[in-house]
Amino acid sequence: MSKSPEFAAADPPARRPACQPAYREHARSYDRQTGAFGRYRQTVVEALPVRRGQVVLDVGSGTGLCAGLLRDKVGPQGSVVGIEASPEMAAVAREHIAAEGWRNVTVVQSPAEDAEIAVTADAALFCAVHDILQSPDALRNVISQLRPGARVAAGGGKWAARWMVGVNLQARVMHGPYVRSFEGFGRPWSHLEQLIEDVHVRQVTFGTGYIITGQAPNRS
């Protein structure tokens, strides 16, 4: 029996572009195109238990849609450091930061695999960044820049139950412009959960989304 379209074979990993075209060509319309997911982003940020004065990494920060929410949590004494591979998305984020006057929010324009952060962070957020979550090298680099016990939260889309064919077809159309491959889309957190402790996973929206929380290992 052939597989349903939503479970078709993933694209081969070789020679993938650094960023999807949507992140380059539509950076200035990204906020509008994904506005319907604003409440979900807020829910993922709320799942990250950070305190005022702490440093948070916003991994795959895009145009900075989570930056303001994170800044509200850490306050003016804390800081938010975005990591974004797309120069176009990072440029939009920096314009937004400048317009808001957020002096404690910065963006490092770099793939997560190579990002160099000058501080040891207290928490990391991965919101709607499926490609990053499928890169063990990216995850290891980010986790290595967290203090022991730092809190981690991630959330995004996933396949629903196999019998929900129509829902999964909609998910493919919805997420297609923003992911290089649907490899791992059934359990997007599988690599992250191997690198963190005290893992809790909650599936939301009838199984089409998830939120995972945990903490960086308490290294000696």
- What is the pLDDT, as a whole number, of residue 152? 98
What's residue 34's pLDDT? 60
Give one DSSP letter per residue of 20-71, joined into a string: -HHHHHTGGGHHHHTGGGHHHHHHHHHTS---TT-EEEEET-TTTTTHHHHH
> Which of 38-42, 43-47, 158-162 shows the lowest mean pLDDT across its residues?
38-42
Cα distances from 25 to residues 1, 57, 91, 151, in angstroms, run 38, 25, 13, 33
Q: Which contacts qualify for 177-180: CB closer than 8 Å, 24 or more apart?
A: 177/20, 177/21, 177/22, 178/20, 178/22, 178/23, 178/128, 178/130, 179/20, 179/130, 179/131, 180/11, 180/16, 180/17, 180/20, 180/131
Q: Which amino acid is at 59?
A: V
Cα 160 to Cα 145: distance, rounded to the nearest angstrom: 33
Task: Assign residue 53 a region (left: φ > 0; alpha: ψ between -120 and 50; beta: otherwise).
Answer: left
Enumerate the domain spans of the chain: 5-215
Q: What pTM, to 2 d.p., does this model score?
A: 0.86
Give the start-end residues of each E strand in the chain.
55-59, 79-84, 105-109, 121-127, 146-157, 197-204, 209-215
Confidence of residue 40 (pLDDT cuts 50, 70, 90): confident
CATH of domain 5-215: 3.40.50.150
* Mean predicted lDDT score pLDDT of the chain: 85
Taking the CA of residue 34 as centre, how many other CA atoms within 13 Å lie in the half-sphere pointing to its CB?
25
SS3 199: strand
pLDDT in tens, 71-99: 999 999 999 999 999 999 999 999 999 99
Tell me how crowded residue 91 is: count the other CB atoms within 10 A of its CB.
16
